[in-house]
Structure 1
Amino acid sequence: MKSWFLRVGDKLSASYWFVPTIMAFAAVVLAMAMIALDGYAGSAWMQHVSWLYAAHPNGARQMLSSIGGSMITVAGTVFSVTIAAVVYASGQYGPRLLTNFMRDRGNQVTLGTFIATFLYCLVVLRTIRSANESGGYSFVPNIALLVAVALAICSIAVLIFFIHHVPSKIHINSVIEDIGERLILEIGHRFPRFIGKPLAHGAGEARIPATFGKDASSEEANQRMLIAAKRTSYIELIDGDTLIDQARRHDLVLRLQYQPGDFTHVGRTLVEAWPPERCDDEAARVIRDAFSVSSRRSALQDLRFLIDELVEIAARALSPGVNDPFTAVTCMDWLGAALSDMAGRELPSHLRVDDDGMLRVIAHPETFDGFMDRSFGALAQYSAADMVAALRFIRALGEVSLDCDDPDRLALISGYADKLEVLAEKALGGFNLERVKQRADELRHALREPVYKRRLRDSAAWLGGTA
């Protein structure tokens, strides 16, 4: 159930109808409240305010009709502009970025403001009565009219904001910044928070049941209950609390076969449970329901999705049809910042225990190597064909190394410089190739020394130039 609420909340935040609907409903409630206040207080108080005049029925109708008609017209224009911007961004930067623009709160509030103002005027308009329409008694909700004027002024301010907001939001640097900031934020939230509590490295391998061991015999391997998927789609999120609770309640050890962002289809095993006799049908159903699926990937629990978005933008920018290396440079800057943050973190074990220290879940291991391969490994082939991108690729590796103290991770970073140089030798030549090889040598030479951080920081050649 928790996974369902998380998924629905994520879908609502990326919809164009939810926020406008809430604002429209609030406008109707506000209109009824102002009408009731007018019925109670009347408009006699306006005689004591020199700059206010009580409106007559015909004038009130004309004012509300003008405001309401203009608001619905502007709302249609705003919707058209928003859709055009979304289509442009989707085609220019990649279809997977469509959700990022639909999630933009500014566009949602702008559309909601005009619709809410229109509905407010519509509800107030129907309550205005002249004397010949109601047996000699007229009713003009003057307080509600003042609120309508205030809403119209707010709508004008929102329109000015929208005119500025749309072009700034689809600017490529703003798009990359939004993705990069969310990636860094998710890294901070996710590590070291996992399903359950992680075991220390090397402390729990002996506690893994024999059926899940690499050298398990056929007889041992059969001692598992396979919980299969019921839908074909992408895994959007996994309710870790439910998995731990079910594993503890039934004294099970669960091994997950998929992680958020993976694609599965009907019949594929989602989870293996041991011992099988303790996992009844109800427990299997609850465990299966802990996996929430969707027609597309999202960043809800999938760091790889955000990395893939930056890689996709950079790859498109470096394609021969676009040839925009500086957009790719911006993507690598943000990837370097995210991996720098991750380089200084201890990634917990994939073995997760409950509050009593009992092994309950064997999740997919998430490693620094895996994230580096997903980002810089995927971009190496594109960056190697352009000198500007290749130099910034190497510099980004250097930025990552500044936050890294693990020798294995430093060797990994140096290895990506080697891979880029090999690819560059096939794609570049002459001066361009010499620059790339020189910068790669500088990075490798610095990483081999104990004071590599100072060497990188103090190197004028490293900090200057196009890289």
Structure 2
Amino acid sequence: MVGFRPQQYREGVKISRFLTSVRQSLWLVPVICVAFGIFLSLVTIALDRHFDYKLIPESVVGGPDAAMEILAVVAASMISLAALVLTITMVVVQLAMGQFSPRIVQRILRDKPSQFAIGLFVATFVHSLLALREVDPGSEGQEGTVPGLAVLTAFVLVVVSIAVLVIYVQHLGQTLRVSALIELVGDDTRKLLDRVFPDKGDDAAPTDVANRSIVSPKSGVVTTIGYEHIIEEAKRAGCIVELVPRLGEFVPASAPLFIVRGDAPTLDDKRLTEGVVLKFEPTLDQDVSYGLRMLVDIAERSLSDSPFQDPSTAVQAIDRLHDILRQLARRPFPDGQHRDEDGELRLVVRVLDWDGFVHLAFDEIRMAGAGSPQVARQLRIALFDLRRIALTERIAVIDEQIDLLTTATMAVMDDERDARRTFIDDERAADRRDHS
């Protein structure tokens, strides 16, 4: 190859490897913060000297003795906070290794908020030390001097550090959620994908202008739908829009978010997509089904194949699911069609019906807990109770669940007598609960 120089290639690889190592290191941001703390201390001390230590009056920062004591306390507390954050980071790494994957450790160590918190505490420590040596307590007959601006800056850094500590604890709780870790890795992989495969290919041209789709600008779970906002824009453009993903469903980036019915040349796509809030996990802002999903997850985890099964926890979760479905059993469900003030249809969304709620609440728990007498009995009590109060057209799905539960319980339990004892008095128990 003309012009190829192995030595230059090796040097280029070494530089690239070094830059990657520095960019992904834990120490880079704290070191930058320490340098900033030294610079800030030198600047404030220089200003204090320039104004003969009278820039900030002693009534604000105190005399030499008070300033020395305050700066010493600040320095000691900041180094303790830095050690605490480092310890918490290591604990988080160990928890993530055990609960999720040992391969996610590298990404957690590169967490910038954690690095910034450590750097801010160490920077405050360094600034306080340098300011402390500038305080002159004075000698007999001589008045001491206090670098007022440097001490006041230390006060400000302490207040900021306290705020950062609170924010860091909140950030840590958010980061430890499995959905946050999945989003963290997924987002990094998406960025790498754009670098490795920069050519995004040809966009598929719409074949039907009257029923074109509007794609999602980013990926995420639909957590909030601004119905009035979307209806207003659809009315202005004179069209009907259909939201493709259901509330609580995940939509990939560039996937269809809306389908526009009718020719709407004045429709503002950006304004329309702003009516849908996408987050990296479902929330209870508008999604009732997510509450059921969390209760089902709790019950399933307590029934998992581990040495610490806890059917009593599963029963408690079933009781809550029973209560929620009981409130839904006779209520009308929306059809997903939303109209403007003139009665014109403007927005169509997919909604979960009664059958969907029943399957969501009972299918997975039934499959996981059919062999547990407590769980099977409580499921039957809940189902028979719901059957009594549900509307006639909603009973079929409950009967299906009862049949499936009976079959699964009989199949799992080796002795038929155990199965019969599981079913004893379940209908009467439901009847007593209904009358109470």
TM range (shorter): 0.5 to 0.7
2:365 to 359, 379, 400: 379
1:416 corresponding residue in structure 2: 401
Contact 1:43–1:54 under 8 Å retained in 2: no
2:238 to 251, 274, 285: 251
Structure 2 residue 433 is matched with structure 1 residue 456: yes
1:37-96: CA deviations, max 9, x gaps?
Answer: 9933538988xxxxxx93474x555433222212211222233334545665658xxx9x
SS in 2 for 1:131: coil
Which runs of structure 2 are paired with 1:319-330 in the superposition (5 Å)? 319-322=304-307, 323-330=309-316
Letter of the 2:333 partner, please give it. L
What is the rounded CA distance, in whole Å, between the counterparts of 2:125 and 2:230 in structure 1?
51
- Quickly say closer, same or farther: Cα 1:271–1:119, change in 2 above 3 A: same
2:292 corresponding residue in structure 1: 307
Structure 2 residue 381 is matched with structure 1 residue 395: yes
1:131 to 136, 139, 143: 136
1:77 to 87, 92, 108: 87
1:271 Cα offset (Å): 2.8
1:375 Cα offset (Å): 1.5
Letter of the 1:70 partner, please give it. S
1:408 Cα offset (Å): 3.6
SS in 2 for 1:360: strand
Contact 1:71–1:117 under 8 Å retained in 2: yes
1:426 corresponding residue in structure 2: 411
1:179 corresponding residue in structure 2: none
SS in 2 for 1:245: helix
Contact 1:226–1:269 under 8 Å retained in 2: no
What is the rounded CA distance, in whole Å, between the counterparts of 1:273 and 1:64 in structure 2?
60
What is the rounded CA distance, in whole Å, between the counterparts of 1:260 and 1:236 in structure 2?
5
What is the rounded CA distance, in whole Å, between the counterparts of 2:57 and 2:386 in structure 1?
67
- Quickly say closer, same or farther: Cα 1:406–1:90, change in 2 above 3 A: farther
1:217 corresponding residue in structure 2: none
- Quickly say closer, same or farther: Cα 1:269–1:360, change in 2 above 3 A: same
SS in 1 for 2:257: strand
- Quickly say closer, same or farther: Cα 1:45–1:310, change in 2 above 3 A: closer
Contact 1:421–1:436 under 8 Å retained in 2: no
What is the rounded CA distance, in whole Å, between the counterparts of 1:369 and 1:137 in structure 2?
80
SS in 1 for 2:258: strand
- The structure with higher relative contact order (CA 8 Å, sep 6+) is 1
- Quickly say closer, same or farther: Cα 1:342–1:82, change in 2 above 3 A: farther
- Quickly say closer, same or farther: Cα 1:321–1:38, change in 2 above 3 A: farther
The alignment's TM-score, normalised by the length of structure 1, stands at 0.55
1:364 Cα offset (Å): 0.9
1:273 corresponding residue in structure 2: 260
1:298 to 270, 282, 285: 282
SS in 1 for 2:268: helix
1:244 Cα offset (Å): 0.7
Structure 2 residue 327 is matched with structure 1 residue 350: no
Which runs of structure 2 are paired with 1:18-417 in the superposition (5 Å)? 39-42=56-59, 54-55=65-66, 57=68, 61-85=71-95, 124-128=128-132, 129-131=134-136, 138-139=145-146, 224-229=210-215, 233-237=219-223, 238-264=225-251, 269-275=256-262, 277=263, 279-280=264-265, 282-288=267-273, 290-293=275-278, 296-299=280-283, 301-322=286-307, 323-343=309-329, 345-397=331-383, 404=389, 406-409=391-394, 412-417=397-402
Identity %: 17
Letter of the 1:40 partner, please give it. P
What is the rounded CA distance, in whole Å, between the counterparts of 2:271 and 2:213 in structure 1?
10
Letter of the 2:146 partner, please give it. F
- Structure 1 or 2, whichever has the larger Rg, is 2
SS in 1 for 2:347: strand
SS in 2 for 1:320: coil
1:353 Cα offset (Å): 1.2
SS in 2 for 1:361: strand
1:245 Cα offset (Å): 1.5
1:369-396: CA deviations, max 9, x gaps?
Answer: 2111112123221121222221222234
What is the rounded CA distance, in whole Å, between the counterparts of 1:42 and 1:284 in structure 2?
59
Q: Structure 1 stretch 351-360 or stretch 324-333: which is displaced more? A: 324-333
- Quickly say closer, same or farther: Cα 1:229–1:38, change in 2 above 3 A: same
CA RMSD of aligned residues (A): 4.9
Letter of the 2:248 partner, please give it. G
1:212-235: CA deviations, max 9, x gaps?
Answer: xxxxxxxxxx79412142568444
What is the rounded CA distance, in whole Å, between the counterparts of 2:322 and 2:254 in structure 1?
39
SS in 2 for 1:254: strand
1:8 corresponding residue in structure 2: none
What is the rounded CA distance, in whole Å, between the counterparts of 1:55 and 1:233 in structure 2?
55
Contact 2:222–2:247 under 8 Å retained in 1: yes
Q: Structure 1 stretch 337-346 or stretch 364-373: which is displaced more? A: 337-346
